[in-house]
């Protein structure tokens, strides 16, 4: 399963999207487009991504651009995975 597919699963579960994330693609806008994705949800998504992918995310690494689209979030996770 690709990292994007795994991230869609995380978004769907954490935000309670009831399968809506399955139709997301790399250009799907996240922040400002998904009402469920508020500041508290962002924290939960980050924590869940850390657990699922075995990565560590520092607070200063997260910006609005990271959560702009599914593609930008996937690129961030892939970059963290490559850093190992």
In the predicted structure, residue 27 carries a pLDDT above the cut 90? yes
pLDDT at 21 (0 to 100): 97
Q: Tokens 């139709």: give the residue.
A: 23
pLDDT at 71 (0 to 100): 98
pLDDT, tens digit, for every residue of 37-83?
A: 998 999 999 999 999 999 999 989 999 999 999 999 999 999 999 99
| Residue 37 near residue 30, CB atoms below 8 Å | yes
pLDDT bin (cut points 50, 70, 90) of residue 30 is very high
pLDDT at 41 (0 to 100): 95
| Residue 70 near residue 28, CB atoms below 8 Å | yes
Global confidence as pTM: 0.94
């Amino acid at each position: 399963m690709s990292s994007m597919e795994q991230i869609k699963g995380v978004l769907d579960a954490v935000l309670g999207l009831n399968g809506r994330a399955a139709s997301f693609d790399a250009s799907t806008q996240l922040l400002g487009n998904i009402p469920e994705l508020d500041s508290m949800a962002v924290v939960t998504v980050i924590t869940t991504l850390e657990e699922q992918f075995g990565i560590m995310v520092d607070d200063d690494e997260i910006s609005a651009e990271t959560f702009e689209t599914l593609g930008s979030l996937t690129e961030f996770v892939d970059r963290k995975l490559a850093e190992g």
